[in-house]
Amino acid sequence: MELGERKQRILTALIDVYVRTGEPVGSKVLVDMLDNAVSSATIRNEMAELAAMGYLEQPHTSAGRIPTAAAFRLYIDSLMDRRALSEDDRREIDTQLKRAAGDPEKLVEEASNVLAETTGCAAVTTTPSSYAADIRRIEVLRVSRYSAALLLMTGSGMLRTRVCRFDSDIENEALETLSRALNEYFCGSLLSDIGLPQVQSLVTALGAYGLVCAPALTTFYQLVQESAELEISLKGQLNLLHHPDYDPVRARDLLTFLAQRDMLTRLLTAVPKGLRVVIGSESKRPELDGSSIIVTRYKLGGRPDGSIGIIGPLRMDYAFEIPRIEYFARSIGRIMDEIIGLDKNNPDDEE
Amino acid sequence: MELGERKQRILTALIDVYVRTGEPVGSKVLVDMLDNAVSSATIRNEMAELAAMGYLEQPHTSAGRIPTAAAFRLYIDSLMDRRALSEDDRREIDTQLKRAAGDPEKLVEEASNVLAETTGCAAVTTTPSSYAADIRRIEVLRVSRYSAALLLMTGSGMLRTRVCRFDSDIENEALETLSRALNEYFCGSLLSDIGLPQVQSLVTALGAYGLVCAPALTTFYQLVQESAELEISLKGQLNLLHHPDYDPVRARDLLTFLAQRDMLTRLLTAVPKGLRVVIGSESKRPELDGSSIIVTRYKLGGRPDGSIGIIGPLRMDYAFEIPRIEYFARSIGRIMDEIIGLDKNNPDDEE
DNA sequence: GTTAGCACTCTGGCACCTCGAGTGCTAACA
DNA sequence: TGTTAGCACTCGAGGTGCCAGAGTGCTAAC
């Protein structure tokens, strides 16, 4: 059902006002918005039709209208005028992100913080998907007589350590053999390809040291699992508690829902590739009624990788926030490539 | 001003009831509590005096009385009967904590989670104070042609890494020299003793490589700073939002206050040695009115080190929660000594 | 198809009332 | 002197009624 041009103008104006004020919009305000081209009665007629079409609703008879999720959907898909970020805004974002550069995980976390702060919403990000990353190097470092640290370095620039305790004192020779074997077997493997059987098969390969090194192999396996796992960071939850559009109880319930990380995972990993905006009830989760999610993916080495986005009330300045999030994603991709992307072109290990 | 024996009994009974119900306690209930020994009128007289002494207050004229912060203080210091944890509770705590063992920082974090969950309050912990820890070892690991990771290992069992980018390709020789110099200069030093001047002085010591290694020195300095910093973890904030004693707005404000980590730091580091209970207004922070903090320190190698505690509403079951937190602290100390404490007695490095 | 005008509806705030719980006080009692 | 019974009093919670204001829907005229 195609919307007449005037209906589109009215709907757009109404959304613009609503996004600004948060109050139901009456016909009089819209007359002004449309330069007195038509009278309030005409607007009222049009609004009644828009309401019948499911684009507007009234909290009660004598209140103005507010846009429905369907209206926001239409607005985002075809009505809105994207507002580009100013040069200043971009520079600001870039500098803030670069401050955290050095380590991909820190970068993404900092992006989350900055995004939450600038939008006043909660920000979600996933770390670069190390699932498909390859192991570059494994170090075994003695900590004490009977404990050692394993260090894992991946092609995505991630470093992880984990301490392992042996059942008794362990010889240097054993640790060196372990280190050699681990590197020999697993360097170049994808994290996702390493299963328990592969790790277990090392026990025999380690010969005389197989048994004493067993705890280290378990630790190594856990380390790989943990590293392959997608990590989700959620920042700025307090923003939601302070947001005027949420009453404290709704905000609390939303936070409780978001605290179940598997829900978040599902929401984030379902993002196909480009941008995804989930508006209120579209998510089919009652807890997300009244909230919107804007997510996009950042690229790593040119390929879509982790996700970044915000969660906030239905009433968001989509025309502004969407470009902002897209810029964040681009900026993260760019900086991350600077940190590690280039390394991909020049693999260069010592061993 | 000494409290008469009957007043003590009344106050104790009142607190017990109030802690259980959360409602103002009227004279009739107390008559039952005290086995009808006296009439409600007598209780009322006593309560009026207790109120005059500042131990009780009424939300309004026709309501029962609730204990003031001063009453809780008296209760904790001299009236209450500590209730010991059951054997089952202890075992439960031990197994949950041991699951996370391996790394002191993870252990403390997990303790925070478990404590928050079992008490229904927010839990705070500080990581073992690495401030006074000594550097055991520094590793320099090449990541790419022009970047390397620095790894720092301390005597408190902490491992930290940070990636550093050089201005251009860097030779193996340079990295090796850097590694040697760092270890030579800083192994055995306390983290707190390492300042910018000391690090800078390495530039000359590195000779020909001084300049190219400069970024690594900066990174090293940051790494040391970051490692020396006390880390505070706050878990279970959502519990506070759901707690019946907080209306959502107060809970929100409390969370907002707690989010300023420097405030938390001050609260936690001020704990002298044993137990510390800060009740409501005693903290002099208006945001903490209506909330109590119970903190104690866990020991590491027999010496008081980090802190662990909970933050929750004034109305807590102190007689039960205090022993619980103390048990947590003991358990952490014990497990942590198992992980690293013993190592202190057997320092044993490869180099 | 558009507009002016009017009756209608609904919310939010305010005042008012009643009920129940629990107190403070007084006078009598042991 | 300390304890008790009895009663008037206070206050909050919750329900009702009323009013002003905002915005609509509808009708009839343009």
- Does the pLDDT at position B294 exceed 90? yes
Q: What is the mean pLDDT of residues B193-209?
A: 89
Considering only the beta carbons, identify the residue of A141, A165, A349 that sits closest to B139: A141
Residue A347: how many other CB atoms lie within 10 Å:
12
B159 with A149: Cβ contact below 8 A: yes
Give the CATH number of domain B131-228. Answer: 3.30.390.60
Q: Which residue type does B233 have?
A: S
C-alpha to C-alpha distance for B16 and B80, rounded to whole angstroms: 9
For residue B83, the distance in angstroms to the closest alpha carbon of chain A comes to: 32
User: A318 pLDDT band (50/70/90 cuts)?
Assistant: very high
- Does the pLDDT at position B345 exceed 50? no
pLDDT at A346: 42
CB-strand contact A284/C, under 7 Å: no
Cβ atoms of B331 and B339 within 8 Å: the answer is: no
CB-strand contact A62/C, under 7 Å: yes
- Does the pLDDT at position A156 exceed 80? no
User: B131 pLDDT band (50/70/90 cuts)?
Assistant: low
Q: What is the mean pLDDT of residues A119-146?
A: 87
Question: pLDDT of A44-60, one tens digit each?
Answer: 999 999 999 999 999 88
Residue nearest to nucleotide D24 (CA to C1'): A62
Considering only the beta carbons, identify the residue of A149, A165, A238 that sits closest to B256: A238
CB-strand contact A64/D, under 7 Å: yes
**Strands B56-57, B66-67: parallel, antiparallel or unpaired by DSSP?**
antiparallel
C-alpha to C-alpha distance for A155 and A336, rounded to whole angstroms: 12
pLDDT at A347: 40
Question: Quick one: closest CA in A to B338, which residue?
Answer: A165
Domain boundaries, chain B: 5-79, 87-129+230-345, 131-228
Q: C2 C1' – A8 CA distance, angstroms? A: 19
Give the CATH number of domain A87-129+230-345. Answer: 3.30.450.40
pLDDT top residue among B269 and A208 = A208
Question: Quick one: closest CA in A to B339, which residue?
Answer: A165
User: A4 pLDDT band (50/70/90 cuts)?
Assistant: confident
Q: D5 C1' – B38 CA distance, angstroms? A: 13
Q: Which residues of B touch A256 (CB under 8 A)?
A: 238, 241-242
pLDDT at B207: 84
Question: pLDDT of A186-225, one tens digit each?
Answer: 999 999 899 999 999 999 888 888 889 999 999 999 999 9
Q: What is the mean pLDDT of residues B71-92?
A: 95
For residue A24, the distance in angstroms to the closest alpha carbon of chain B comes to: 25
Q: D29 C1' – A41 CA distance, angstroms? A: 14
pLDDT top residue among B136 and A269 = B136
Q: What is the mean pLDDT of residues B220-237?
A: 91
- Does the pLDDT at position B349 exceed 80? no
Residue nearest to nucleotide C5 (CA to C1'): A41
C-alpha to C-alpha distance for A115 and A136, rounded to whole angstroms: 32
Q: What percent of chain B has pLDDT over 90?
A: 59
pLDDT at A348: 40
Q: What mean pLDDT value characterizes chain B?
A: 89
Q: What percent of chain A has pLDDT over 70?
A: 94
Q: Which residues of B touch A342 (CB under 8 A)?
A: 144
Closest nucleotide over all strands to B47 (CA to C1'): C23
Residues of A with CB under 8 A from a CB of B: 102-103, 136-137, 139, 141-145, 147, 149, 151, 153, 157, 159, 161-165, 172, 219, 238, 241-242, 247-249, 251-252, 255-256, 259, 339-340, 342-343, 346, 348-350
B141 with A147: Cβ contact below 8 A: no
Q: What is the mean pLDDT of residues A74-94?
A: 95
pLDDT at B214: 92
As ranges, strand C nucleotides with an atom below 7 A of a protein CB are 2-5, 8-11, 20-26
Q: Which of B163, B176, B351 is most worth mutating to test chain A (most A CB atoms within 10 A of its CB)?
A: B163
Q: What mean pLDDT value characterizes chain A?
A: 88
Q: Which residues of B touch A128 (CB under 8 A)?
A: none
Alpha carbon separation from B292 to A60, A221, B92, B330, B343 (Å, rounded): 44, 42, 25, 22, 37
Question: pLDDT of B23-53, one tens digit each?
Answer: 999 999 999 988 888 999 999 999 999 999 9
pLDDT at A146: 84
pLDDT at A112: 96
- Does the pLDDT at position B113 exceed 70? yes
pLDDT at B155: 80
A151 with B151: Cβ contact below 8 A: yes
pLDDT at A80: 94
CB-strand contact A48/D, under 7 Å: yes
User: A94 pLDDT band (50/70/90 cuts)?
Assistant: very high
Question: Would you tell me which CATH number, out of the four given (3.10.450.230, 1.10.10.10, 3.10.300.10, 1.20.58.1690), belongs to the domain A5-79?
Answer: 1.10.10.10
C-alpha to C-alpha distance for A314 and A289, rounded to whole angstroms: 8
Alpha carbon separation from B106 to A108, A143, A162, B134, B158 (Å, rounded): 22, 17, 10, 20, 10
For residue B249, the distance in angstroms to the closest alpha carbon of chain A comes to: 7
3-state secondary structure of B312: strand
User: A174 pLDDT band (50/70/90 cuts)?
Assistant: very high
Alpha carbon separation from B242 to A70, A256, B122, B233, B286 (Å, rounded): 33, 9, 11, 20, 21
User: B272 pLDDT band (50/70/90 cuts)?
Assistant: low
As ranges, strand D nucleotides with an atom below 7 A of a protein CB are 3-6, 9-12, 21-27
User: A62 pLDDT band (50/70/90 cuts)?
Assistant: confident
Question: pLDDT of A223-259, one tens digit each?
Answer: 999 888 888 999 999 999 999 899 888 899 999 999 9
pLDDT at A272: 65
- Does the pLDDT at position B340 exceed 90? no
CB-strand contact A26/D, under 7 Å: yes
User: B91 pLDDT band (50/70/90 cuts)?
Assistant: very high
User: A154 pLDDT band (50/70/90 cuts)?
Assistant: confident
Query: Long-range contacts: B243-247, Cβ < 8 Å, 24+?
Result: B243/B120, B243/B121, B243/B312, B243/B313, B244/B22, B245/B22, B245/B290, B245/B313, B245/B314, B245/B315, B246/B290, B246/B313, B247/A248
User: A83 pLDDT band (50/70/90 cuts)?
Assistant: very high
- Does the pLDDT at position A1 exceed 70? no
Q: Which of A241, A246, A350, A351 is most worth mutating to test chain B (most B CB atoms within 10 A of its CB)?
A: A241
For residue B235, the distance in angstroms to the closest alpha carbon of chain A comes to: 12
C-alpha to C-alpha distance for A182 and A91, rounded to whole angstroms: 44
Q: Where are the alpha helices (DSSP H) in A187-270?
A: 196-205, 214-228, 237-242, 248-259, 261-269
